[in-house]
Structure 1
Amino acid sequence: MFLFSQCFCNMNLAAYTQGTIVGWPSPVLLSLQSENSPIGGEPMTDEEASWMGSVLCLGALLMTPIYGYLSNNHSRKLTGYLVGIPPIICWLMIIFARSKTTLFVARFMIGNVGAGNTVLCPLYVTEIAEDDVRGSLVTCVMLFFSIGVLQSYIVGSYASYQVLGFACISLPILFVFLFYWMTESPVYLMSINRHTESRKALSWLRGNDKQTVDREMEKLTKVLNRSKEDSSSAFSILELFTKRGSRKTMLICMGFAINMGLSGAFALMTFTVRIFQEFGSELFPDLSAIFVAILQCVFEPRVKPTAVTLCCSFVWAINFLMSKFFLPVASHVGLAGCYWFFGGVCLLGAVFCHLVMPETKNRSLEDILKELAGEKRFTKP
């Protein structure tokens, strides 16, 4: 239970950190667009605000394929430090920024966390967790992300620009400290033929339960041997679109990616305070945002590493476009027009899910893959 709690808290701190980063612009935007702006001494324009909210998506878009390569070919633990150390530097830049350029550069660089959280963290959790707790670890990522957004909304409602920054920087510092005590992934150690160290790491994760370690080492050996056999032939990215099963999987993942991006969730979280202000809410705009953060939902795609990298990159690209052009479009068509569009996208997403998404309940991965490949059609009992 201790190891489960440690892994649970440590890995979800990355999602928590990302949540504070995404939620940060919303409460500070009113201050930055006021006459007494803490950055530059002059109000930030809507154009500059749209760049501030969206530029981190460009950073995440750039880092996603890099994380995809590093996490699949190098040490998971060393790569994991990239999720925690750069954000500390970025938050210091944000806290002590004296120009908008410095702020924009820091926001671009801090997109690193989003890339690491969507690519590396699920992989690391999957490789170190036991079967009966793996789902609990992975599916809580979006919950902790929402809590992080909520923290930025709450602290930003009552604290100054600098105080909010210091509250946010504490999370990556805590992540780096806790991650230091985590072990390297047994799967990675096994893949580079460091069998003794792999057993030692797995033994630490399983509380020195020799029977469990022996069973999992045997299973791990079989999986890696099969993986090596499959990788004996060169992999082409075209296989994701030419093979029937892979093509349908990519269709499902890309469909979800488009739905997630065009639903406007990222833009709404970034500019929640501004939205409530324009609605003329009787509540303080920054306090109203707190209630929005509680309503976040969970989605975690399960696909191959290459597909994950492509889909995550696609999502970050759409998020950038949506957050960059949300304010200009809203000023022309109104918030009501934006919400009609977002609602329509969500409705189409539900129809898409009903028509295309295969049933996964009580089914093995092999059975699902066979259905996607057209080899077997699932029928309800």
Structure 2
Amino acid sequence: MEDRNYAYDPVGQTGAPLNQQAYRMEAGQLWRQYAIAGIANIAIASTGYSMGWTSPVNLKLQNTTDNPIGVPITKDEEAWIGSLLTVGAIFGPFLGGFAASKIGRKWGLLSTSIPLFIGWILIAATKNVGMIYGGRIFWGLAVGMLFTISPMYCAEIATDDSRGALGSFLQAFITLGYLLIYGIGPYVSYMVIAYVGIIFTAAFAVLFFFMPESPFYYLGKGDREAAAKCLASIRGRSHEGVQAELDLMAADVNASLEKTATVADVFRGSNFKAFYISCALVFFQQFSGINAVLFYMTNIFEAANSSLDSAIATIIIGVVQVIASFITPLVVDRLGRRILLLISSCGTAIGLGLLGMFFMLAQAENPVVEKIGFLPILSLVLFIVTYCWGLGPLPWAVMSELFPIEVKAIASPIATAFCWVLSFLITRYFSAIAAALGMGGTFFIFGACCVAAFFFTLFLVPETKGKSFQEIQDILSGRPSKPEKA
């Protein structure tokens, strides 16, 4: 696969005009940015493995067999185990934002392997539930850091026409981690699960060590030569062949360096518009109930008395997640963000409505429940597929696009931390709410939030497909923008 861009032609006799200069065509290698983003997202897959860990391990901890603690955990301990990862994730974004700006996107991403390793060591060596709590908190720190830095890195190495696809990698790779833990968790020991997690993290650290830094980071530090070297490596072109694109990047960075952003700037003008859109999208993402569903998926199938073994049903959902999530990178830069968000919010609302109806009927002991034992799986498949098309990946992709460079390092951690505060509330109190309202009522509430997400997207979310960072800022500010690229 080739990627083409115009390289500077001082004679001006070849190529086409771009930014008032003539450039000659030089072939590049588009696959390189996809490969680099894929390796960067191995860490995201590792966090998916960590986040899905509760689904098979909760059942082990509720028994005495293959339980490192030796005694079954209580319901309250189970709720804390599920939710403490999100507590760490609340603080992780601020560490991630600081690391990304001070040591770079590459080394910031690599540094996430430290809390991941610590978390797995605590889990592997655990003798009591407190060590499990600690491991989950360290995983959460890594999750918060990765969800801040990874979308930033992928957006900055991507061309305008590939940015949506690379931004969607986060959701796609996290589902690979979920599938792995769903696939092996029920069938291997507690310790084997931990060893696989350690190997997963080590694979990321070794492979990503050889990947390039973001050119934007070097330009921000005034090191154009290092930025050119990185960009040439990412694009698969010569040093001369990336000068045109580097000039555009440098113009964006220089404009941002003229401004000194503070927290107050996040709440002004177009920055605030970007901020409330980002926060609203992650609100709807979390209040779709996704983490409650994923963390307690096995429990949901047990509660539903599904005719299919809960472990097999969970693996089926994991496979569906992966397939659906890898569709989004293929179509997001063709269809656009808005249409996928609209389809996603509509589909998740229907899936949650069906799931809520099933539990309502089950609670009423309606005899029809015995004939529709397939409905929980069908509902969750619809929910997962449509979630993975939009509400899962696109809030992160859109967030990485909406904020200007000088505001991104401040605003993104705040919005990401907000996301994990919501996730904590849902995962910590899902069981209590479900006990008070019933599973049916709880899923109806989540479904209503998805309906609200549909109308919010319809009226307030701008389309960023194929737009440069400057064009997106023009849209948010209400300034005339260039026509959309074909």
> By the TM > 0.5 criterion, same fold?
yes
Distance 1:349 1:129, change over 3 A: closer
- Partner residue in 2 for 1:238: 264
2:284 match: 259
Deviation at 1:341, TM superposition (A): 0.9
Q: How does 1:362-373 map to 2 (within 5 A)?
A: 365-373=469-477
**Percent of aligned positions with the same letter in both sequences?**
27
1:213 and 1:362 mapped to 2: Cα distance?
Answer: 19
Aligned counterpart, 2:98: 69
Aligned counterparts of 1:204 and 1:246: Cα–Cα separation in 2: 32
Query: Once the two structures are superposed, what CA deviation does each residue of 1:86-140 show, in whole Å capped at 9, x if it has no partner?
Result: 2123112212211111111011011122112211112222333344444332212
Counterpart AA for 2:213: E
Match status 1:325 vs 2:429: yes
Moved more, 154-163 or 371-380: 371-380
Alignment of 1:339-378 (within 5 A): 339-361=443-465, 365-375=469-479
My pick for the range that moved more, 341-350 or 113-122, is 113-122
CA contact under 8 A between 1:187 and 1:220: conserved in structure 2? yes
Structure ranking higher on relative contact order (CA contacts 8 Å, 6+ apart): 1
Q: Deviations over 1:315-360 (max 9, x none)?
A: 1000001000111221222211111111111111112211222344
Aligned AA (1:209) = S
Contact kept, 8 Å, 1:12 with 1:140, in 2: the verdict is: yes
Is 1:315 matched with 2:419? yes
Q: 2:272 corresponds to which residue?
A: 247
> 1:145 pairs with 169, 174, 196, which one?
174
- Would the alpha carbon gap of residues 55 and 174 (structure 1) be closer, same or farther in structure 2, given more than 3 Å must change? same
CA–CA distance in structure 1, aligned partners of residues 481 and 240 of structure 2: 38
Candidates 268, 274, 277, aligned match of 2:302: 277
2:219 counterpart letter in structure 1: M
Deviations 1:131-165 (Å, cap 9, x if unpaired)? 44443322121011112111111111221211222
1:104 corresponds to 2:133? yes
Q: 1:218 corresponds to which residue?
A: 247
2:118 to 58, 68, 89: 89
Residues 67-96 of structure 1 show CA distances to partners (whole Å, capped at 9, x for unaligned) of: 112212332222222222321231122122
Q: CA shift at 1:186, angstroms?
A: 2.6
Query: Does the 8 A contact of 1:85 with 1:172 survive in 2?
Result: no
Offset, 1:273: 0.5
Which consecutive segments of 4 or more residues in structure 1 shift more than 6 A?
A: 377-380
* TM-score (normalizing by structure 2): 0.72
Q: Match for 1:338: what amino acid?
A: T
Which protein is bigger by CA-based radius of gyration? 2
Distance 2:33 2:267 in 1: 38
* Cα drift, residue 379 of structure 1: 11
Aligned residues of 1:206 and 1:212 also touching (Cα < 8 A): no
- Corresponding residue number in structure 1 for 2:36: 7
Deviation of 1:63 after TM superposition, in Å, equals 1.5
Deviation at 1:37, TM superposition (A): 5.4
Q: Aligned-pair distance for 1:40?
A: 1.7
Is structure 2 residue 147 aligned with structure 1 residue 118?
yes
- SS of aligned partner of 1:110: helix
In the alignment, is the contact (CA less than 8 A) between 1:39 and 1:100 conserved in 2?
no
Gaps of 5+ in 1: none
Q: Please, which moves more after superposition, 217-226 or 105-114?
A: 217-226
Q: Is 2:214 the partner of 1:188? A: no
Equivalents in 2 of 1:253, 1:172: separation in Å?
29
Say if 1:62 and 1:277 are closer, same or farther in 2 by CA, change over 3 A: same
Higher mean alpha-carbon deviation, 180-189 vs 19-28, is at 180-189
The Cα shift of 1:264 comes to 1.2
SS at match of 2:133: helix
2:185 maps to 1:156: yes
Report the Cα distance in structure 1 between the residues aligned to 2:49 and 2:207, rounded to whole angstroms: 19
Instruction: Return closer, same or farther for 1:344/1:208 CA change in 2, 3 Å cut-off.
Output: closer
Classify the secondary structure of the residue corresponding to 1:238: helix
Q: Which moved more, 1:203-212 or 1:39-48?
A: 203-212
Distance 1:120 1:90 in 2: 20
Task: Give, in whole Å, the separation in 1 of the partners of 2:248 and 2:478.
Answer: 28
Matches of 1:53 and 1:252 in 2, distance apart?
28
User: Is contact 2:34–2:166 with CA below 8 Å preserved after alignment?
Assistant: no
Q: Which shows bigger deviation, 309-318 or 258-267?
A: 258-267
Conserved in 2, the CA contact under 8 Å of 1:60 and 1:112?
A: yes
After the TM superposition, which of the residue ranges 143-152 and 281-290 deviates more from structure 2?
A: 281-290
CA distance in 1, matches of 2:147, 2:435: 32
* Residue equivalent to 2:81: 52
TM-score, length of structure 1 as denominator length: 0.91
Taking the aligned partners of 2:197 and 2:88, their CA distance within structure 1 comes to 19
Residue correspondence of structure 1 range 123-142 to structure 2 within 5 A: 123-142=152-171
Contact 1:85–1:176 under 8 Å retained in 2: no
Correspondence for 1:29: 58
* 2:346 paired residue number: none
Aligned pair in 2 of structure 1 residues 332, 36: CA closer, same or farther (>3 Å)?
farther
Farther-moved stretch of structure 1 (83-92 vs 27-36): 83-92
